[in-house]
Amino acid sequence: MGRSTLSIATFNLFNLNEPGLRMYTNEEGWSQAQYDKKIEWTAHQFKLLEADIFGFQELWHADSLVNALQLSGLADRYDVLVPDGANGTRIVCASIVRKGLLTGEPTWIRDFPEAFVLRSEGDDPQTPQIGVNIRGFSRPVLHFRIKPREDGPDVHVYVCHFKSKAPTKVFNEDWYQNDRQTYSKHGDGLGAALSTIRRTAEAAALRFLLSEVMKGSDTPVIVLGDINDGQHSNTANILTDQPRFLVGDSKGGGDTALYTAQTLQEYRDSRDVYYTHIHQDVRESLDHVLVSQEFYDNSRKRLWMFDGLIINNDHLNFEDHKGLGTNDHGIVRATFKYKPVARAEV
């Protein structure tokens, strides 16, 4: 009838590109030696984790992903999902999916929904009006469907990568150049605000898309990605719809809710050591696996039960990622086993 387990992983590839190609302001890109180490390390992670689905961020070139997959010896086990034109000139989200799971064709969502609006006159007379005019994702969101069991519904999978916390560089803007004396003191603060606004808008736009699919439909959904924010951040709260956890066996679940694998793991562990990124000695969880109520243990509509989480993050203790071939993010893999709620439990 289909799979009895399903493992899903999110994997930031740290600018995986072919050697010698420009990335951002780095004209020279990866050297051949750096590239070889990077491909070798990435291939090792594929073999080590061998998830049914990997969702990737920071891929530049399709060939680089294919090369790592071939070196792992697993190429014949996966379908590779990379958009057309992934030739090293831009950053994309991508995926590899175990053969036999994929249904239909993947799509990359560049634009926000046409009906999506972020504008308000304010909740009360003291609140100034607000309007946000962003109309697209910084990194197009990958959307595809899988069918893990013949007797079950399609599962919608989204792979996302939101704007980082790094301040937007505003020093080249006309308003900055025209009054450098004023703005030179405020570049970082204004840039950080712009990054936060963009990331928040991206989370809200994806939430808009998710609600369209999930509301009143019992459609299983998985969201994988680097949202560049933590488990309890506003970014995560927008995406997840802030569901209640632990409502009792087969009594909980929310129609549009997403549940973080991080929280699911915390209920299984006596200690939380979840982190996927280190910046200025601060350990944060930026990379997430989010699942709908069909994957939540305590949901009345559960199909799959959480069966554990692994984070490969030891390499974050060593900062020379370029020299070592490692990534600057941890890799998260969550596993679920097929265990629908019995009718008598509901």
* pLDDT reading at 68 higher than 80: yes
- 3-state secondary structure at position 134: coil
Cα gap 144→8, rounded to integer Å: 14
Query: So what's the pLDDT on residue 346?
Result: 47
First to last CA, the chain: 23
Query: So what's the pLDDT on residue 78?
Result: 98
Phi, psi (degrees; rounded to nearest 5) at 178: -75, -15
Cβ-contact 140, 109 below 8 angstroms: yes
Average pLDDT over residues 300-324: 89
- This prediction has a pTM of 0.94
- 3-state secondary structure at position 261: helix
Cβ neighbours around 151 below 10 Å, total? 9
Q: Which CATH class is domain 5-345?
A: alpha beta
- Domain ranges, ordered by start, for the chain: 5-345
Cβ-contact 145, 134 below 8 angstroms: no
Q: What is the DSSP string of 298-321?
A: TBTT-SEEEEEEEEE-GGGG---H
Q: pLDDT by residue (tens digit) across 183-225? A: 999 999 999 999 999 999 999 999 999 999 999 999 999 999 9
Residues 85/86/88/89 CA torsion (nearest 10 deg) = 50
Q: pLDDT by residue (tens digit) across 274-288? A: 777 767 666 778 899
Average pLDDT over residues 262-270: 82
